[in-house]
Chains A and B, each alone.
Chain A
Amino acid sequence: MLQNYAGVGVFFLIAAIFPLILLATAWLVRPKRPSPEKLSTYECGLETQGPTWVQFKISYFLYALIFVIFDVETVFLYPWAVKFQALTLFAFVEMIIFIGILVIGLWYAWKEGALEWL
Chain B
Amino acid sequence: MNAHQTQSGRLSQVLWYLPVLLILAFFTFPLIWIVMTALKPPIDVFAYPPKFVFTPTLDNYRRVLASDYMDSLGHSVIIALVSAAFSVVLGTLTAYGFSRYPLRGKDNLFFWILSLRMLPVIAVIVPYFLLFQRVGLTDTLVAMMLVYAVFNISFTVWLLKGFFDEVPREMEEAAKMDGYGPWGVFTRVALPLVIPGIATAIVFNVVQSINEFLLAFVLTQRKATTAPIALLNFLTPMGLDWGGISAAASMLVTPVIILAIIVRKHLIRGMSFGQLE
A and B bound?
A: no
Interface residues of B (CB under 8 A from A): none
